């Protein structure tokens, strides 16, 4: 797990150093990690709000984001929060909810 977090941190730092953004190929060359693996890490980071994706022609440019991820905002709230997807499956629960029902 620590290797996973180390790789995410490396990707985040590389994107911070390149404010014009990088493609998956460029990140792969910079990190010496397989293109497919980089794409998976970027998907996780995109979903969690740590990177932004902007299509530029046929390329996908990834940027470091300076916004606060929604998961952080949900966990700050003193209210009980459940987030559902369109199939009504629970996709996120905040800490307040978990503490109350544990």
> In CATH, what number is assigned to the domain containing residue 47?
1.10.10.10
5-20 pLDDT, tens per residue? Answer: 899 999 999 999 999 9
Overall number of domains in the chain: 2
Model pLDDT, residue 73: 79
pLDDT of residue 2: 65
Q: Are residues 24 and 57 in the same domain?
A: yes
Q: What range does the domain containing 80 cover? A: 70-101
Give strand ranges (E) for the chain: 51-56, 59-64, 82-84, 90-93
| C-alpha span between 20 and 14 (Å, rounded) | 11
pTM metric for this prediction: 0.66
- Same domain (yes/no): 12, 48: yes
pLDDT for 94 beyond 80: yes
* Distance in angstroms (rounded) separating the CA atoms of residues 25 and 31: 10
74 lies in the same domain as 60: no
| Separation CA 26–CA 17 (nearest Å) | 13
d(CA 53, CA 63) in angstroms, rounded, equals: 6
């Amino acid at each position: 797990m620590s290797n996973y977090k180390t790789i995410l941190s490396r990707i985040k730092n590389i994107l911070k150093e390149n404010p014009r953004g990088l493609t998956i190929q460029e990140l792969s060359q910079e990190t010496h990690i397989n293109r497919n693996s980089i794409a998976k890490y970027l998907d996780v980071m995109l979903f969690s709000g740590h990177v932004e994706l902007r299509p530029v022609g046929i390329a996908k440019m990834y940027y470091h984001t300076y916004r606060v991820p929604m998961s952080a905002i949900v966990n700050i709230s003193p209210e009980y929060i459940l987030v559902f997807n369109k199939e009504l499956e629970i996709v996120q629960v905040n800490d307040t909810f978990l503490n109350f029902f544990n």
